[in-house]
Amino acid sequence: MVKEVGEDVSLFKVGDRVWYAGDFTRQGSYAQYQVVDERIVGKKPKSISYAEAAAFPLTILTT
In a domain, 2, yes or no: no
Domain that holds residue 26: 18-62
In a domain, 32, yes or no: yes
| More confident site: 14 or 26 | 14
In a domain, 5, yes or no: no
Look at residue 29 in the predicted model and tell me its pLDDT: 64
Local structure of 3: helix, strand or coil:
coil
Question: Do 18 and 46 form a contact (C-beta atoms < 8 A)?
Answer: no
pLDDT averaged over every residue in the chain: 85
Overall domain count for the chain: 1
pLDDT, one tens digit per residue, over 3-15 is 999 999 999 999 9
In a domain, 4, yes or no: no
H-run or E-run covering 11: none
